[in-house]
Amino acid sequence: MQITENILRKDTDIDKELQSLNAEQYDAVVTLDRPLLVLSGAGTGKTKVLTTKIAYIIENGFAFPSQILAVTFSNRAAREMKERLFGITSSAMGVWLGTFHSICAKILRSHAEAVGISRDFTILDADDQLKVVKQILKEMNIDAKAAPGIVAKISRWKDKGISPDNPSVDKTTQEGRVYKVYQERIVSYDSVDFGDLLLYVVQIFKENPDILQTYRNRFKYILVDEYQDTNVAQYLWLRMLSPLGQGLCCVGDDDQAIYSWRGAEVGNILRFEKDFPNTKTVRLEQNYRSTGHILGAAASLISNNQMRLGKTIWTADGDGDKVIVQRVYNGYEEAQVVSEKIEQLHRKYDLDYKNAAVLVRAGFQTREFEERFIANGIPYKVVGGLKFYDRQEIKDIVAYMRLIYQPNDSLAFERIVNVPKRGIGASAVAKFYTVASEKNISLYLAAKDILEHETLRPSLKHSLDEFIKFIESMRLRHDLKSADIARIILDETGYAEALKQEKTLESQARLENLKELLQALEEFEDLPSFIEHISLVMDSPKTEEDNVVSIMTLHSAKGLEFDAVFLGGWEDGVFPHNLSIQEGNVEEERRLAYVGITRARKLTFITYALNRKIHNQWQANMPSRFLSELSPEHITHITGRSGCFS
């Protein structure tokens, strides 16, 4: 009975879904025999086409789920795609759906030895990268201030598929020299960074035609969302998997290309028809997300860009509310105005908090909103900012887990070898470093080596011995679930006890966070699956945070939608960002503004402040140039709350 019901439900779901499509969308979904490009504006159903297409392929038996590869841009977008897909079909288990990075991590785990690393490699996050570079700079007697810039430069090289030995990397420059040492160093740690995930897989494919062939045979259908923001490395990867574009479907919007600063090449989408002969290109024009004034305002803004294909979008939804542009006195008042508006919509019109978002240009802008929301009791989360897994205590315990999983993970080792304090101080660590670099081994192995062969101060010898014994004993405990491992770490290392003794508000909060970690760990069967997750999840909101206002940068809002969207800080210098004004790259900022406005279903609310404190300095900036580009017929301009500023 149950089975019959399921089959019936599935069939009607996909049928219903197909019937809801307009003619062009339907065409895009059922075209399977040619390379397919869907190039169209925001909210026209590109992502919907992708998810429906996957369901259509599976339900009609054109391929097994495991023969479908679907890639998207961020973890959050991947999650949303998964939800939409499982909303249409319950048979999608096994589809390779994820970000470029997560898919590559999965492939690399199977073939790591082909590029000389072990399958247990760890994935470095941005913070880890920074630490490695800082360490190298220290060894080279260079000021650590240069580190963030060098990390960015290395990442850009990797986005372009450029390795340290590539002739275009100038070895006479500081950056070029550090890049080479950096790469050797992370290889010796058995680690990879995000850029490596793609590059290694491309290298494996290049050097091992048999491996490449197995993946070409496997993936009958490859679908890519947000194609306008793929970088060179991602593009190479796709072309290797699908040289003729058979079964390939890419969707995107050149007006939403916002990652050129991270190596994205909008040219990839514009070149698609040339790359893959016999391409079918579908353009979608009906927008199903936003009401008319929102679309009109967005269209008038983006028409100021010179470098664009140009497209029409219309909605059958009616005009709706005009976009509100409100002038405020400063950031404090801005947060107040937004907070009140959200509260008002929540009370009067039943707006769910989760259907509201505050989108900002730069990370520093979130704080004032956060403080106001806390004061007014509005639940919120910061998506993509300093969050749960970035907190010190969480990183400490995760470092223990990483070290148990992979003792050669020297960053993890260094982080916790003296946490909580056990008398293994900086001089001991310096010694580990010396031996590690002499013998070209990890810090952990160096510490073991020293313990065995050198005479140490008794107290240091004892602590080190205990520490290594603890790690070794945990490594043998394959019977433990990941939450149990964390519990043992907290108890046996004295980490939890030390926090309890501290008895401050902060230590209380840290203990609570650790409890939260144990809860999160329950979801993972074993240590490897948790380690894999933690390395890839950059923006995971906690489950109980579901019905909350999202605060995030415009960049991370791509592909998402909300009933009400609040765009703060529309002042020249803030948005468009100062740097892009100086570099003459305002078009990308305008696309970012276009992305922001078009996230809204019903209300777009823009604020600009007469004064703003930036890095502790008051500034009085001009209203954003983008404001004057919004066609007045779609705008309501409010120039002061109580009239006192008008």
The DSSP code sequence of 511-562 is: HHHHHHHHHHHTT-SSHHHHHHHHHH-SS---GGGTTSEEEEETGGGTT--E
Closest distance to Mg ion from the beta carbon of 382 (Å)? 22
Q: Which is nearer to ligand ATP, 88 or 401 (CB)?
A: 88
Tell me: does residue 384 bind ligand ATP (CB under 6 A).
Answer: no
Yes or no: say if 163 and 198 are a contact pair by the CB < 8 Å rule.
Answer: no
Yes or no: say if 100 and 237 are a contact pair by the CB < 8 Å rule.
Answer: yes
Yes or no: say if 67 and 220 are a contact pair by the CB < 8 Å rule.
Answer: yes
Closest distance to ligand ATP from the beta carbon of 48 (Å)? 4
72 contact partners, CB below 8 Å, separation of at least 6: 78, 81, 97, 98, 99, 224, 225, 226, 559
Tell me: does residue 292 bind ligand ATP (CB under 6 A).
Answer: no
Tell me: does residue 288 bind ligand ATP (CB under 6 A).
Answer: yes
Tell me: does residue 98 bind ligand ATP (CB under 6 A).
Answer: no
Q: Which is nearer to ligand ATP, 413 or 594 (CB)?
A: 594
**Cα(401)–Cα(493) distance, integer angstroms:** 13
3-class DSSP state of 619? strand
With CB under 6 A, what is the number of residues at the site for ligand ATP? 17
Cis bond before residue 420 (omega within 30° of 0): yes
Tell me: does residue 21 bind ligand ATP (CB under 6 A).
Answer: yes
Active site residues: 46-47, 225-226, 256, 599
Of ligand ATP, Mg ion, none, which one does residue 104 interact with (CB within 5 to 8 Å by kind)?
none
Tell me: does residue 257 bind ligand ATP (CB under 6 A).
Answer: no
Q: Which is nearer to Mg ion, 79 or 106 (CB)?
A: 79
Closest CA to 134 of 148, 144, 121: 144
Element (H, E) at 292: helix 292-302
**Residue 492 structure tokens:** 């046996």
Closest distance to ligand ATP from the beta carbon of 184 (Å)? 40
**Cα(193)–Cα(197) distance, integer angstroms:** 7
Yes or no: say if 396 and 565 are a contact pair by the CB < 8 Å rule.
Answer: no
Query: What binding mask, one character per residue, do residues 502-521 give for Mg ion by CB under 5 A, x or -?
Result: --------------------
Yes or no: say if 232 and 263 are a contact pair by the CB < 8 Å rule.
Answer: yes
Q: Which is nearer to ligand ATP, 286 or 621 (CB)?
A: 286
3-state helix, strand, coil in the chain (%, to 5): 55, 15, 30
Q: How many CA atoms lie within 13 A of 327 on its CB side?
A: 17
Tell me: does residue 376 bind ligand ATP (CB under 6 A).
Answer: no
539-568 positions binding Mg ion, by CB under 5 A? 559
Of Mg ion, ligand ATP, none, which one does residue 63 interact with (CB within 5 to 8 Å by kind)?
none
Element (H, E) at 222: strand 221-224
Query: What binding mask, one character per residue, do residues 504-543 give for ligand ATP by CB under 6 A, x or -?
Result: ----------------------------------------
Q: Which is nearer to Mg ion, 41 or 559 (CB)?
A: 559
Element (H, E) at 183: helix 174-188
Q: Which is nearer to ligand ATP, 299 or 404 (CB)?
A: 299
Long-range pairs of 625-632 with CB within 8 A, sequence gap ≥ 24: 625/572, 625/576, 625/586, 626/301, 626/570, 626/575, 626/576, 626/589, 626/590, 626/593, 627/325, 627/570, 629/300, 629/301, 629/304, 629/590, 630/297, 630/300, 630/301, 630/323, 630/325, 631/296, 631/297, 631/300
Of Mg ion, ligand ATP, none, which one does residue 264 interact with (CB within 5 to 8 Å by kind)?
none
Closest distance to Mg ion from the beta carbon of 30 (Å)? 20
Closest distance to Mg ion from the beta carbon of 55 (Å)? 16
40-79 positions binding Mg ion, by CB under 5 A? 46-47
419-438 positions binding ligand ATP, by CB under 6 A? none
Yes or no: say if 456 and 494 are a contact pair by the CB < 8 Å rule.
Answer: no
Closest distance to Mg ion from the beta carbon of 316 (Å)? 19
**Cα(98)–Cα(73) distance, integer angstroms:** 8
Query: What binding mask, one character per residue, do residues 46-85 give for ligand ATP by CB under 6 A, x or -?
Result: xxx-------------------------------------
Torsion of CA 202, 118, 101, 412, to 10 degrees: -140
Closest distance to Mg ion from the beta carbon of 153 (Å)? 31
Q: Which is nearer to Mg ion, 403 or 565 (CB)?
A: 565
3-class DSSP state of 72? strand
**Residue 544 structure tokens:** 């109980």
Of Mg ion, ligand ATP, none, which one does residue 230 interact with (CB within 5 to 8 Å by kind)?
none
Choose the stretch contacting Mg ion; rule: CB under 5 A; options: 38-46, 129-137, 196-204, 579-587: 38-46
24-43 positions binding ligand ATP, by CB under 6 A? 25, 42-43
Tell me: does residue 253 bind ligand ATP (CB under 6 A).
Answer: yes
Of Mg ion, ligand ATP, none, which one does residue 44 interact with (CB within 5 to 8 Å by kind)?
ligand ATP
Q: Which is nearer to ligand ATP, 72 or 339 (CB)?
A: 72
Tell me: does residue 289 bind ligand ATP (CB under 6 A).
Answer: yes
* Inter-CA distances, 253 with 256, 298, 501, 578, Å: 5, 14, 55, 25
Q: Which is nearer to Mg ion, 50 or 443 (CB)?
A: 50
Residues that bind Mg ion (CB under 5 A): 46-47, 559
Residues that bind ligand ATP (CB under 6 A): 20-22, 25, 42-48, 253, 256, 288-289, 559, 561
